Amino acid sequence: MKILIVLTSHDTLGDSGKKTGFWLEEFAAPYYVFKDAGAEVTLASPKGGQPPLDPSSEAKDALTDATERFNSDKDAQKALANTVMLSTVAPDDFDAIFFPGGHGPLWDLAEDPDSIRLIETFASSDRPIGAVCHAPAVFKHPKGPDGNPFVSGRNVTGFTNSEEEAVGLTDVVPFLVEDILLANAGNYQKGADWASFVVTDGQLVTGQNPASSEEAARKLLELI
């Protein structure tokens, strides 16, 4: 069982002067769900190497058992520091792909041709695809085998407009995840803000927010 985790390489939060990147919990929890299940996990990012970590995801109120485990796991830290370049990834080498969130993907992975190619390849072969929180932004451009947007007619979730408003970044991000999923004719669903909420539709698993990361990873495993 081989799973590819695709992380952002983008570290600038628009014109705010603040840093962003991937959200630690949304990487760490799925990483350990997959590893503990015996999966061979490969990490990739557009630029390769160490992906930027959103500093807010290391705040005390954002820490979880998974992030604590990662912070004491030298092997996992080494793997994260040496992500492969996304352009070198062969889609056929993997059984599933998973995209952690953080705000970074809104800028790079949502527009990245290699990410788009990867999603479309997995969609055409009906293999599992997972994304959590802001990462469903990666479905902005990919098309399904029928030529329609990949999420068209699919049950999906992702970071809500109200959650984005709560963190004060509605006017900073290039687009809102909820809006783009709706614009692409996705059947957008949501639970309570900040509570775990995961939607599975065929081979697609999406999670609403950081609290959804572990459950989303477990749902993805069930599809493999």
Fold of the domain spanning 2-223:
Rossmann fold (3.40.50)
The confidence score (pLDDT) of residue 153 equals 97
> Mind listing the pLDDT tens digit for each residue in 28-43?
999 999 999 999 999 9
Q: What proportion of the chain, given as a percentage, has pLDDT over 90?
A: 98
Helix axis angle, 24-36 to 213-223, nearest 10°: 40
The domain segmentation of the chain, as residue ranges, is: 2-223
Question: For the chain, what is the mean pLDDT?
Answer: 97
Give pairs for 69-72: CB < 8 Å, separation 24+.
69/28, 69/32, 70/24, 70/27, 70/28, 70/31, 70/32
